[in-house]
Structure 1
Amino acid sequence: MTQWGGTPIDELLRMSNSERISVVLPEQTKKELEKLCKVERRSISNFVYLLIQDAIDRAKTEGKL
């Protein structure tokens, strides 16, 4: 599983194979995400990247990927 002290988002954006995605969230969900990111001292992009990477790592461990 990815450690929460993972790669900074700035480094990811400098990588030539990085891509951007858009996500649509309900207003309240976005507000709560912003609060959580502030508590975790992470950008939204970095926080979401880590959540996605954790899900991918789990799927690999479970043989789904």
Structure 2
Amino acid sequence: MTRTMIRVDADMSQDITEKFPHLQLRKHSAQTTLSGDIEDQEELQGVLNYLSLMGVTVVEVVTIPE
């Protein structure tokens, strides 16, 4: 499991953020960060694919050191 932060260039709706209840949501003026534990590369790709389908631009994906 890898601690990860995903920064997107959007103010995400509750419909989108409900898909990731295990990720902590923080809103910054017109940007949002999701952070939490991602099980593996497949789960990360699933999150990124869903965000893309919803038209959300991913600005940054960062692994957070433990």
Q: TM-score, normalised by structure 2?
A: 0.32
Q: Between Structure 1 and Structure 2, whose CA radius of gyration is higher?
A: 1
More helix per residue: 1
The structure whose residues are more often strand, as a share, is 2
